[in-house]
Structure 1
């Protein structure tokens, strides 16, 4: 266990690689699972990041309160950008945020993070209609349709295998759409400047399983 008192600066960010950043996040998740988190001098980090930030990654996650992103990857102030929306799907605002994170601010990794037993995914599986939730769930329906072609049994939230498949398909399809809708990020990935990856956080274990 380390004590973190220095925030990432431009010099440190410049030498990071996409693969190295991914390893760093997964190593942090292993520390989280083993209950061996690093400690941090938050006041020092606040002071050092007041005038600027140089995060290593941008993570798109669900709003779920059981998935506190920085904690489950053992990251500190200044380490990661986090975009959150129920169902962890992309939209124009999140795409713009990701483009800023990588093209402008220098982040090396885009991680789409779904999670086990996602309530938004379950609602999409069940065709829930309620206020603005209806339009929100439309973003997850492509994953529901894909799972219905792949998984046997009922295509609703009572089928745990169907829900699990839809969580994973939603992550994969979101990654595909990020590449399709953001020529900036697609080009950066093709040039090796970033990686776009996906994983699923397991509520039952705290483990992030990469797809």
Structure 2
């Protein structure tokens, strides 16, 4: 049989049809929006009520709880059961692999709430861009967050021009942020102010790279269907700053 490539629009439509509606029982194409309740399992109806702005507000509120040491109580076993046949996350986060900066933790989120793509230096490539496109276009995510963090080892490595196996290629993706950042001191990891400035620059540049390299996400943002934002997690106090 001849192998024919289907247009992306057709593939996305077919994928969308495969997503079940978590006990909402709504007719195809007629999803009744239901209010979001913090800590509750996300359904298709609840996802339908979340806008890009409210998705951002949910993450901000979650981080405030995390900083205050007051995370929501959840029945995780029940949430696993409820999401077994489908998922309707409201946001996607591109974060670093750093063990201190897990998005689900710092935003006080849980099973089925957010998509996460993690790689050292919270950068993107075609695989991550494709994942973000799926999350937004097919699965309904309303927000894309590029989450950097303070004292990032990958950023320090890029500042020091570290060469080590496959890490070399990864750090090369962070070099534009290093080169674009000005400083009056040393241009290496010993200069903490420089490292912080490079970290901020990298977050902002990755946000722009997403727009530049994904026409799908760029068009969705222009249409108001999603937002693409940058954020920085402070490993010293748990707070997230937004760009």
Distance 1:193 1:55 in 2: 14
Which stretches of structure 1, 4 residues or longer, exceed 3 Å deviation after superposition? none
Partner of 1:166: 198
Could you tell me which residue of structure 2 aligns to residue 156 of structure 1? 188
Q: How many residue pairs align between the two structures?
A: 207
Q: 1:39 corresponds to which residue?
A: 73
Q: Residue 63 in 1 paired to residue 97 in 2? A: yes
Q: What's the TM-score once normalised by structure 1's chain length?
A: 0.96
**Whose RCO is larger (CA < 8 A, sep 6+)?**
1
1:117 corresponds to which of 148, 151, 154: 151
Alignment CA distance shift 1:189-1:3 (3 Å): closer
Task: Please name the residue that 2:63 is paired with.
Answer: 29
Superposition deviation, residue 3 in structure 1: 8.1
What residue number does 2:175 align with? Answer: 141
Maintained 8 Å contact 1:63/1:85 = yes
Closer, same or farther in 2 for the Cα pair 1:197/1:28, shift >3 Å? same
What corresponds to 1:179 in structure 2? 211
* Separation of aligned partners in 2, 1:175 and 1:44: 35
Provide the secondary structure at the position in 1 that maps to 2:65.
Answer: helix
Q: Which residue of 1 aligns with 2:113?
A: 79
TM-score for both structures, normalised by structure 2: 0.84
Unaligned runs of 5+ in 1: none
SS of 1:167's equivalent? helix
Give 5+ residue unaligned stretches, structure 2: 1-36
